């Protein structure tokens, strides 16, 4: 049995817009208000009893299920909602403020232009925000989440995730699992919320590019730990660091391969505050103070 929609004379495939609305398929006649909604078409990835096998046109063109599933994943210049399936999908939002849903599978989601919202779903996904200010949710799985340009908000969700804010003033929250935060040159003024409930969490903050241990200035700001890049405006604030271990990051690594453990962080905070210069103010230190700082850095960064 083959269920089908047949369009009459004067209507070709080019005259019909196909969109997905949740699990429904919506067919709209261009330049009109006419539409057909096929309820639950995409239920179980269009394999359920609600499926419609063919969409037919008088010129002989036929759209089968696989073709429809592909067409509704194509972005427009507007604000799109694109959905993946239970496979490894690649979704790109293009222009507009888009919402992309990966669902199951190891997906690649790219927001491109606009203020986009990306949901990885289950699987080990890669989420890339692109330009403007985006919201990225890794959800389940070991995800790689990149904000790129703009002031982005990144949530790792469950799993061992890698969060990269990129340029702009970003908010990063690893959530559950052993997560990695990466900051490179020009990272902006970021905030990390590393709250976790696991007692054995091993989260890490990695400084990449040419950011070596001697370029990082540690200070306390209220209840937060602040790390400034010396000689630049870049800084990262780790929220509620001084509220307890559930907010702290287990280790820090610098581009020169050196590692700083969470138990050694306060040594640097105390030493740097004792010099009486502002955060990142190494240029105001005396020669003697610089020499003292080098000894402290060498003793704690291994």
Q: What is the pLDDT of residues 186-199, one digit of tens each?
A: 999 999 999 999 98
Could you tell me if 63 and 127 lie in one domain? no
Please state, in angstroms and rounded to a whole number, the distance separating the CA atoms of residues 135 and 82: 15
Could you tell me if 120 and 263 lie in one domain? yes
In the predicted structure, residue 134 carries a pLDDT above the cut 70: yes
Between 285 and 11, residue with greater pLDDT = 11
In this prediction, residue 287 has a pLDDT band, given cuts at 50, 70 and 90, of confident
Could you tell me if 122 and 31 lie in one domain? no
CB 259 within 8 A of CB 252: yes
pLDDT at 275: 83
Could you tell me if 155 and 59 lie in one domain? no
Rounded to 10 degrees, the C-alpha dihedral 228/234/239/245 comes to -50
**210 found inside a domain:** yes
Whole-structure pTM value: 0.93
| Three-state secondary-structure class, residue 168 | coil
Could you tell me if 187 and 237 lie in one domain? yes
pLDDT at 231: 85
Query: Cβ–Cβ contacts within 10 Å for residue 187, how many?
Result: 25
Read off the pLDDT of each residue in 58-62 and give the average, rounded to a whole number: 97
How many structural domains compose the chain? Answer: 2
**186 found inside a domain:** yes
CA atoms 105, 106, 110, 111: torsion sign: positive
Could you tell me if 118 and 242 lie in one domain? yes
Q: What is the pLDDT of residues 240-283, one digit of tens each?
A: 999 999 999 999 999 999 999 999 999 999 999 988 766 656 66
The sheet with strand 16-21 has its strands ordered as: 16-21, 24-29, 35-38
Nearest-CA neighbor of 124 among 134, 139, 110?
139
Average pLDDT across the chain, whole number: 95
In the predicted structure, residue 179 carries a pLDDT above the cut 80: yes
**Domain that residue 291 falls in:** 81-300
**188 found inside a domain:** yes
Burial (0-12, 13-18, 19+ Cβ within 10 Å), 245: exposed
**How do beta strands 153-155 and 171-173 pair?**
parallel
Could you tell me if 89 and 47 lie in one domain? no
Please state, in angstroms and rounded to a whole number, the distance separating the CA atoms of residues 278 and 284: 9
H or E stretch including 299? helix 287-300
Could you tell me if 51 and 95 lie in one domain? no
In the predicted structure, residue 290 carries a pLDDT above the cut 90: no
**217 found inside a domain:** yes
Instruction: Compute CA distances 244 → 176, 206, 240, 249, whole Å.
Output: 17, 21, 8, 11
pLDDT at 131: 92
CB 81 within 8 A of CB 99: yes
Q: Which two three-digit tokens encode residue 199?
A: 């007692």
Could you tell me if 208 and 269 lie in one domain? yes
**76 found inside a domain:** no
H or E stretch including 62? strand 62-64
**29 found inside a domain:** yes
Domain end position, chosen among 71, 102, 126: 71
Please state, in angstroms and rounded to a whole number, the distance separating the CA atoms of residues 102 and 198: 27
CA atoms 121, 126, 131, 135: torsion sign: positive
């Amino acid at each position: 049995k083959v269920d089908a929609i047949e369009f009459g004379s004067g209507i070709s495939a080019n005259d019909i817009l196909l969109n997905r609305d949740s699990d429904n398929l919506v067919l709209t006649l261009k330049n009109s208000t006419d539409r057909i909604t096929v309820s639950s078409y995409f239920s179980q990835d269009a394999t359920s009893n609600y499926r419609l096998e063919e969409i037919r046109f008088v010129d002989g063109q036929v759209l089968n299920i696989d073709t429809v599933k592909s067409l509704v994943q194509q972005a427009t210049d507007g604000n799109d909602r694109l959905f993946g399936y239970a496979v490894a999908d690649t979704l790109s939002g293009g222009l507009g403020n888009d919402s992309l849903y990966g669902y199951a599978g190891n997906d690649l989601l790219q927001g491109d232009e606009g203020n986009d919202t990306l949901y990885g779903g289950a699987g080990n996904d890669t989420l890339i925000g692109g330009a403007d200010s985006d919201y990225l949710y890794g959800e389940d799985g070991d995800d790689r989440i990149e904000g790129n340009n703009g002031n982005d908000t990144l949530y790792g969700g469950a799993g061992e995730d890698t969060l990269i804010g990129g340029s702009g003033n970003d908010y990063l929250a690893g959530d559950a699992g052993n997560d990695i935060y990466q900051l490179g040159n020009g990272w902006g003024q970021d905030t990390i919320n590393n709250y976790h409930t696991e007692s054995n969490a091993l989260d890490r903050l990695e400084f990449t590019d040419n950011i070596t241990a001697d370029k990082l200035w540690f200070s306390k700001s209220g209840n937060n730990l602040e790390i400034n890049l010396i000689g630049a405006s870049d800084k990262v604030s780790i929220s509620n660091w001084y509220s307890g271990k559930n907010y702290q990051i287990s280790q820090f690594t610098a581009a020169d391969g050196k590692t700083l453990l969470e138990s050694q962080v306060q040594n640097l905070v105390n030493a740097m505050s004792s010099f009486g210069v502002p955060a990142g103010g190494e240029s105001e230190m005396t020669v003697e103070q610089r020499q003292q700082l080098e000894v402290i850095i060498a003793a704690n960064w291994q």
